[in-house]
Structure 1
């Protein structure tokens, strides 16, 4: 697949490159333009296992956060402060939901930038299924705003506020894209049980997309991958 097989990333020799089709017994999604980063795979597997060990069942899905196309490049795009703001607003949304069971959110994220002048973010989100078990409708309300109390609308509101827009600003389309299953082409989500290898294999495959070396802007001097902590 690859013309050469260096063991370390040329922009950061602490990052180990990974070329195999499976990692720790789980399928991974190799990219045609380069290998995965083993350090990120390790963190992904740890986070997924931590969620499975914490919750009786875990609801998992992937989303991408995009900046509006018309937004000019600014200082907001030079670091990950906007993503930290997103998580702060989103966790506030989860607390407001006042679910019967604690949502125990966990996450993986990756910053990527290829041909655009602005980055975008890939996320995998993990919840206690007893608290949240669906993403909900993606479409906005009839007046073009995202005011429903489902997960998707909560994510959209949080992302708009993180960028400095009003949560009910009707000017924007769907800046939050839910990732699709590469085979069925339908929005992907899954329920993880501690003893369900197949569901874990699928989740690790989807998470591995965040671990590809290609399009990670290492030369910007900021983090390009991270996860929730214990």
Structure 2
């Protein structure tokens, strides 16, 4: 698949490049446009394992956060402050849901930018399945706003507020894109049970998309990958 196999990223020699399709016993998504970053794969595996240690079962899903197409390049696109605001609003939404069991959120995120003047974000979110086990309806209400109390509408409200919009007064397309299973092409989510290798393999494969070296603005003085630390 690859013609050359450098061991380190050319713009950051602390980042190790990984070319195999199996990482520590789990499948990863290798692409023709570049290898994975091993540091990020390791952090992803640690985060998935931590979620399963804390939760009896874990609800995992992948989403992409995108800015409106007609939005001009703004100062908010120069760093990851907008993403930090999204997580703050989203965690508040989870608390406000007042579920019987705590959500216990964990996450992975990656910043990427290819042919656009603005970046976008890839996320994997891990929640206690006893608190949340589905994303709910994606479409907005008939009036074009996102006021339902399901996970998807909570994420849309959080992302709109993070960008500075009034979430219950603005009409937007779905700027939170739920990632599809590359085989079935349906929105992907998975219930992870402890010691269920197949579910963990699938989750690691989906998480590895965040770990690819391609399109990450490495060397531009902006963080491109991180995870929850709790």
TM-score normalised by the shorter chain: which range applies? Answer: over 0.9
- Report the TM-score when normalising by structure 2: 0.99
CA shift at 1:180, angstroms?
0.3
**Structure 2 gaps, min length 5:** none
Q: C-alpha distance in 2, partners of 1:29/1:186?
A: 17
Cα shift readout 1:33-75 (whole Å, capped 9, x = no counterpart): 0000000000000000000010000000000000000000010
CA RMSD of aligned residues (A): 0.6
CA contact (8 A) 2:12 2:219 kept: no
Write the distance in 1 (CA, Å) between the matches of 2:204 and 2:169: 35
The secondary structure found in structure 2 opposite 1:218 is: coil
- Per the alignment, residue 27 of structure 2 pairs with 27
Residue 39 of structure 2 aligns with which residue? 39
- Distance in 1 of aligned mates of 2:168 and 2:123: 23
Alpha-carbon distance between aligned partners in 2 of 1:200 and 1:109, rounded to the nearest angstrom: 18
Counterpart secondary structure, 1:94 = helix
State how far apart, in whole Å, the 2-side matches of 1:170 and 1:88 are. 20
Deviations 1:186-213 (A, max 9, x none): 0000010111000000000000000000
Give the equivalent residue in structure 2 for 1:10: 10
Quote the Cα distance in structure 2 between the aligned partners of 1:148 and 1:199.
29
**1:46-125 correspondence runs (5 A):** 46-125=46-125
Superposition deviation, residue 170 in structure 1: 3.1
Alignment TM-score, normalising by the size of structure 1 = 0.99
1:147-166 matches, within 5 Å, as 147-166=147-166
**Distance in 2 of aligned mates of 1:167 and 1:92:** 14
Is the Cα–Cα contact under 8 Å of residues 143 and 170 in structure 1 kept in the other structure?
A: no
Q: Give the secondary-structure state (helix, strand or coil) at the position aligned to 2:219.
A: helix
Unmatched 5+ stretches in structure 1:
none
The alignment covers a number of residue pairs equal to 230
- Checking the alignment, whether the CA contact within 8 Å between 1:44 and 1:204 is kept in structure 2 is yes
